[in-house]
Structure 1
Amino acid sequence: MALILALAVTSTSWQPAHASPAAGSGQAVPPPPKPEPIKVRQLPLPPVTPSIEAGSCTTENNPRGTGCIGQSPGLFSGNFLPDSRNIVATVLFTGAPAAPHPSSIYTGQQLILVRADGTTFPNGDAWKCVTCGIPPGNAPGPADAMDYPQAFGDGKRVLAGTNIIDCGPYKLADRACTPQRVRIYPIRWNTTADGSGPGGSIRELRLHPDDTHLGFSSMTVTGGRLDQFSYMGRLQFNPSPTTGTPLVPRYDLVKVSRLFDPNATQPVDVDPSDPGKLRFDPFVPSVGELRGFSADGREVTYVGYPAESSNIDVFAADLTTGKVRRLTADPEYVDPVDLSPDGKWTVVMDTRGTDRLSFLSAMRGVPGITDLLSASAISAARNNGKRRFFQPYLIDAYGDRGSYAGQRLNAAGDGSPGSINDPLWNGRADPKWSPDGTHIAYWQSLAVAPDCGGQNPLPCPVSTAPGGRTERLMIADLTSRPPQTREPVVPVSDTVPWGVPYEPGSAIPARTHLTQGTYTLDGKKSGSAEVTVTENSTRTAISTVAVTYQDYSDDGRYVINGTETMTLQNDTPFHNKIDWFSDLVRTDIGTGRVHATKRTSPDGFHLDITVGTNKFQATGTLTTTVDGHVYNQPANGT
């Protein structure tokens, strides 16, 4: 995913709680930074062959015989090597001639390095394939995908998918790092008491900057609904495993902690001193989907429980103390995030500026109560299939505030096809800082069928990238920033005090839910909300949440009145059918002026969406109006 000479982006005026390091500390929050000069460049990738047929990559396509990629090259951009001049990435090579032709090694998904400084490798290419031609004995494990590559701090290893790619004593960018010297080791998480079996399924792997620990997430199903927990463990090389598969040299995850404690306070729970009252605190450490770590390794970043209703944000939690801070607060959707080497900046991929989800979230200050049912569906609505709406933004450490919503890195340009800010080129995961703090790498994809063309109202654009590629690798140069020297990272403890040690073979905890009944949630400044919870027939999950607000206020500036009711049905864990009725009004306390409304049509708003497919389909309407600005839902299928 990704980030230019700035565009001042405005958002609804508001004052977020806990949005910055200074929140609650008495420290004054400084004014927003001025836009800075940023130059964005497209980086070179291997040449394109228009056909995937064997032998289609000829010397006309690539005179050096170092391989070709297709128009949809399966690009995954990663981070920088420690030198800040090489970026790790994976691409899908295609069209190679059959063996024993020397170019036959350039086939399938492979790890490459891409020069970010305009220079080339000794053979004249601006990229180097690290894994092409590895002898089979150097990669004896299963051929797992090598997505989301992340370089270790030693410059000799890369995490890619559930593999670690290792060039031994040689740096990956050195001439001496040849495929014959590269080894690929699988990663295994033991989930059985006797150590047998293939291990647990892990996703969204993120390397800790101490090069020793790994964060990851794992899907599960709770009460018939999709759920996810995140973990952190130590990478331990096992040269000769005797249990579990694969029985090849591998990295085992040991000393694993689940970054969630079912016995601790949850974002929405019952007040133990008064069972008729609810407490709402999204700043308890409860990691949803893990997104990475701060550069100093002290914090884990993650998608957290919404601090404001229907607003999906990223948070950071201190691995030792559990103190949580909110990194973003714009009403649009975000999940890709990377913190700068000096900890003073955040780069995100966000739908802000598109109004994609503002019809749900533009009314501020509504506590995340109906999100007990809607969070998965709202997350899925951020995309239209593979058509994304992310753009890269640079935000200072104090976060979104007032009219400041960060600086869009690729704002400069005329918006024409193929330009830096072409709206049909959209960001992917993850934007990454260079170790010296002067560059940000990101990657984008172009809308392609079936998420454009045909019956879709969006026409399919024609790619202007080399060879008609529909994916591109970009770099934002922060031209006014001097290079920094990155401080060594102190290895973190294997123990996360606010987490729970994972015991192999133990059951995945069932995430607790509110029991059926009626509760009161007091506003932090005034008023209250009456919350009625209805469970499903088996009492394994909540089916309906109904909320009535009466002069409810957490900020002392605005009050919320009205009602909101939501019912969720899941015939499969991934399929969400939501019936939503809303009639909310937000009023300025000082003037009595109506500031915002959030209303459904008389027959309600009915959303049908499948996580992973992410195709927006709804009947009825849900409309939010803020200071006269009307936010409407997207059309079905867009």
Structure 2
Amino acid sequence: MRVSSSIIALAASFQAIAGHTLPQDPGSEAKHLERDLDPLPPPPKPEPITVTELPLPPVAEDRVGACTTKINPRRTGCIKKFPDLMTGNFLPDNRHVVASVNYAGAPASGSGSIYSGPQLIIIKTDGKKFGNGDAWKCITCGVPEKNRRGMHEYLDYPQAFRDGKRILAGANIIKCTSPFQQDSCTPDKVKVHPIHWYTSEDGSGPSGSLRELRIHPDNKHLAWSWITTTAGKLDQYGFVGRLRFNRSPKVGEPKVPRYDLENVQLLFDPSATPPIAVHADGKQLVINHDAITVGELRGFTGTGRELHYVGFPTESSNIDVYAVDLLTGKVRRLTQHPEYVDPIDFSADDKWMVIEDTRGSDRQMFIAGLRGIPPVTDLVSSSATSSTRNNGYRRFFQPWLLDGHGDRGSYFGQQINAGYDATPGSGSPSDPEWNSMADPKFSWDGTQIAWFQSQTVSPACGGHNPLPCYPSTAQGGRQQRLMLAHMTSRKPVKKFPAVQELPQTIPWAIKYKPGFKPKGRPFPPPGEYVLKGQSSGYANVALVGSEQGTLLRSVGLVYHDFSDDGLNVLTGSEKVDVHVEGSINWVDWHSNLTQTGPFNGTKKTSPDGFQLRIDVRVNEFMANGSLVTTVDGKEYFQPLNFT
């Protein structure tokens, strides 16, 4: 099962830690929230963007022989109606996109039998065809067994290396003796090598689990996430390591030619100052916005100078992405909008980023819309506030283009697929029933962006769900599609800034030792504290721990004319109790907050509070009571159950 990006990171890491204008502008007076004192350039103006859909293999039923010559006369395979599509980046020629799909309906024998199961493909983006007449080419179909020993089945998050000679897909590296796009790159010329991470102290056994791998731009290093359980709850850590080809491994399984990960570094230092800590006087809580909190790493900037990740919130319930300099450890906040974000990619020159965000959908505004609240309840609530952004497999993401400095002031980027028919069911690039999926990717020359969409399907619509389902307008009723944005006024970038190689030792990380068993992340001890406003006022804070003492289970605050910026003044109370069992969170939320100033509004629960049960692996919204946030007179309500 594919686990939703960043949900686990937030469910564990943070809970355990001790041109398009949006319909509602949540930050027109947001400059006071920007902590970076370096002057930033004015935001860019909207630019012309056109969106097209790229071709994929035809659809067939998932049964032997269903992919007939009537469906595909060239006998080059068919894919499922829901093909488990996952878009990757571009080959260096900027005319091919890599992707993974699930083939279906292959015959039991014959030349067409190789088009079966999860496979890596490349797709032409310029409207041209390969020699066989298809706009796509399967790279891994028919690779001889001797060339793919130890291959991992899943080929998710495919990424071409900068040199164009290799492709990362899942925990595999795929090579060909000639460029992938050439007809001479045939299955017998392709080799697939597994990636191995030594996690046992003696080096024996299989590789450690490698989740969502990302290539560093130096082509020599990878980053990945690792999920574990500590103190009865899910946790996640980020790592980086150097690739070394091991032609004849002596230890570890499988003993086949493979890529080993060496000089592995853990992107978490338990001795570093956490985002919320107790002052030396033992009476005050202190918020450290400069803390490095890699909840789930998302990749690297184009030059490799920074690593970006989902981090501990700057504002309560507002999940954002951050970047940290690999050498200096300086952290910068990339996004600020109250809606949820995690997929992100930078252009090769670091001047632009593309994100996938729920901004514009109002999905998260009921819980995060009132800005400037300090992130204290997030010590226990981040799993819930991140999980509500999905409805099962359905995402509410849309792709947004921002410059490399990110959100600031009233600038929240340009929606890439805006401007088409936004009627539900229209099938246009703007159809809200087609939601964006991770990860979007820039072309190397900066003129195109590729991403994929999934259509809303049952049980997220239809049946007992109050939301209607719409028929797919894609070929064969396909429920996923690959999209391409053309930034038509741009000239291709031909000269790139130098890539900064990942340092041998990252100063703020620690060296990984095989056998590592995390003890959890530090959190403030239970007790009563005072949180002082940076400008005026204060809040009384009560932290209550679990019976086992392994995590916090309750956070309560009473605000007394609290202000961090001298403009917004917060009064009232908020209390969040959370009971955690593995991936399931039971939340009891009571809020009665009022804020005056530029972010004028309220955040209030019904008299008996707001109770939420949510599984961070499933993300089905099921609540009793209500939580309503009002900003400048506009009310934001929670989603209906199971929607």
Q: Give the TM-score normalised by structure 2.
A: 0.94
Instruction: Determine the C-alpha separation between the residues in 1 that align with 2:289 and 2:436.
Output: 27
Q: For residue 180 of structure 1, report the CA deviation from its aligned partner.
A: 0.4
Matching of residues 554-633 of structure 1 within 5 Å = 554-570=564-580, 572-588=581-597, 595-633=600-638
Instruction: Determine the C-alpha separation between the residues in 2 that align with 1:497 and 1:171.
Output: 38
User: Any stretches of 5+ residues in structure 2 without a counterpart?
Assistant: 5-18
Q: For residue 288 of structure 1, report the CA deviation from its aligned partner.
A: 0.8
Q: For residue 397 of structure 1, report the CA deviation from its aligned partner.
A: 2.6
Deviations 1:65-104 (A, max 9, x none): 11111211110100001111100001111111112x1111
Instruction: Determine the C-alpha separation between the residues in 1 that align with 2:149 and 2:508.
Output: 38
Deviations 1:472-501 (A, max 9, x none): 000100111110023452422131110111
Q: Partner letter of residue 545 of structure 2?
A: E
The answer (yes or no) to whether the contact 2:152–2:170 under 8 Å persists in 1 is no
Deviations 1:588-633 (A, max 9, x none): 28xxxx8110011110011100011100001011110011000000
Q: For residue 17 of structure 1, report the CA deviation from its aligned partner.
A: 6.3
The answer (yes or no) to whether the contact 1:219–1:228 under 8 Å persists in 2 is yes
The answer (yes or no) to whether the contact 1:577–1:609 under 8 Å persists in 2 is yes
Work out whether 1:438 is the aligned partner of 2:447.
yes
Matching of residues 51-450 of structure 1 within 5 Å = 51-99=61-109, 101-168=110-177, 170-271=178-279, 273-416=280-423, 417-450=426-459
Q: For residue 192 of structure 1, report the CA deviation from its aligned partner.
A: 1.1
Indicate the SS of the match to 2:79: coil
Q: For residue 18 of structure 1, report the CA deviation from its aligned partner.
A: 7.3
Q: Partner letter of residue 45 of structure 1?
A: L
Deviations 1:492-522 (A, max 9, x none): 2131110111011132242112111111122
Name 2:20's counterpart in structure 1: 7
Q: Partner letter of residue 359 of structure 2?
A: R
Name 2:524's counterpart in structure 1: 514
Instruction: Determine the C-alpha separation between the residues in 1 that align with 2:484 and 2:313.
Output: 31
Work out whether 1:527 is the aligned partner of 2:537.
yes
Work out whether 1:455 is the aligned partner of 2:464.
yes
Change (3 A) 1:458 1:468: same
The answer (yes or no) to whether the contact 1:548–1:564 under 8 Å persists in 2 is yes
Name 1:24's counterpart in structure 2: 37
User: Any stretches of 5+ residues in structure 1 without a counterpart?
Assistant: none
Instruction: Determine the C-alpha separation between the residues in 1 that align with 2:437 and 2:84.
Output: 12
One of 558, 561, 568 as aligned partner of 1:551: 561
The answer (yes or no) to whether the contact 1:462–1:468 under 8 Å persists in 2 is yes
The answer (yes or no) to whether the contact 1:14–1:364 under 8 Å persists in 2 is no
Q: Partner letter of residue 367 of structure 1?
A: P
Q: Partner letter of residue 184 of structure 2?
A: A
Q: Partner letter of residue 619 of structure 1?
A: N
Q: For residue 412 of structure 1, report the CA deviation from its aligned partner.
A: 1.2
Indicate the SS of the match to 2:73: coil
Q: For residue 142 of structure 1, report the CA deviation from its aligned partner.
A: 4.5
The answer (yes or no) to whether the contact 1:11–1:330 under 8 Å persists in 2 is no
Name 1:45's counterpart in structure 2: 56
Indicate the SS of the match to 2:156: coil
Instruction: Determine the C-alpha separation between the residues in 2 that align with 1:615 and 1:512.
Output: 29
Q: Partner letter of residue 102 of structure 2?
A: L
Name 1:34's counterpart in structure 2: 45
Q: For residue 427 of structure 1, report the CA deviation from its aligned partner.
A: 0.3
Q: Partner letter of residue 599 of structure 1?
A: K
Q: For residue 14 of structure 1, report the CA deviation from its aligned partner.
A: 3.4
Q: For residue 342 of structure 1, report the CA deviation from its aligned partner.
A: 2.0
Name 1:478's counterpart in structure 2: 487
Instruction: Determine the C-alpha separation between the residues in 2 that align with 1:554 and 1:19.
Output: 12
Instruction: Determine the C-alpha separation between the residues in 2 that align with 1:18 and 1:243.
Output: 52
The answer (yes or no) to whether the contact 1:18–1:326 under 8 Å persists in 2 is no
Q: Which deviates more, 625-634 or 216-225?
A: 216-225
Q: Partner letter of residue 257 of structure 2?
A: P
Deviations 1:407-427 (A, max 9, x none): 000011122421110000000
Change (3 A) 1:296 1:37: same
Instruction: Determine the C-alpha separation between the residues in 2 that align with 1:98 and 1:221.
Output: 42
Instruction: Determine the C-alpha separation between the residues in 2 that align with 1:240 and 1:394.
Output: 45
The answer (yes or no) to whether the contact 2:151–2:193 under 8 Å persists in 1 is no
Q: Which deviates more, 283-292 or 625-634?
A: 283-292
Instruction: Determine the C-alpha separation between the residues in 2 that align with 1:102 and 1:67.
Output: 10
Indicate the SS of the match to 2:381: helix
Indicate the SS of the match to 1:547: strand
Indicate the SS of the match to 2:100: strand
Indicate the SS of the match to 1:445: strand
Instruction: Determine the C-alpha separation between the residues in 1 that align with 2:376 and 2:251.
Output: 45
Q: For residue 144 of structure 1, report the CA deviation from its aligned partner.
A: 2.5
- Percent identity over the alignment is 52
The answer (yes or no) to whether the contact 1:142–1:246 under 8 Å persists in 2 is no
The answer (yes or no) to whether the contact 1:92–1:107 under 8 Å persists in 2 is yes
Name 1:635's counterpart in structure 2: 640
Q: Which deviates more, 623-632 or 192-201?
A: 192-201
Q: Partner letter of residue 419 of structure 1?
A: S
Indicate the SS of the match to 1:201: coil
Change (3 A) 1:612 1:17: farther
Change (3 A) 1:185 1:278: same
Instruction: Determine the C-alpha separation between the residues in 2 that align with 1:227 and 1:19.
Output: 30
Q: Which deviates more, 326-335 or 544-553?
A: 544-553
Q: Partner letter of residue 584 of structure 2?
A: H
Q: Partner letter of residue 45 of structure 2?
A: K
Give the number of aligned pairs.
621
Change (3 A) 1:198 1:19: farther
The answer (yes or no) to whether the contact 1:604–1:621 under 8 Å persists in 2 is yes
Instruction: Determine the C-alpha separation between the residues in 1 that align with 2:69 and 2:498.
Output: 45
Q: Which deviates more, 522-531 or 602-611?
A: 522-531
Q: Give the TM-score normalised by structure 1.
A: 0.95
Deviations 1:260-285 (A, max 9, x none): 111011111112x3221111123311
The answer (yes or no) to whether the contact 2:115–2:141 under 8 Å persists in 1 is yes
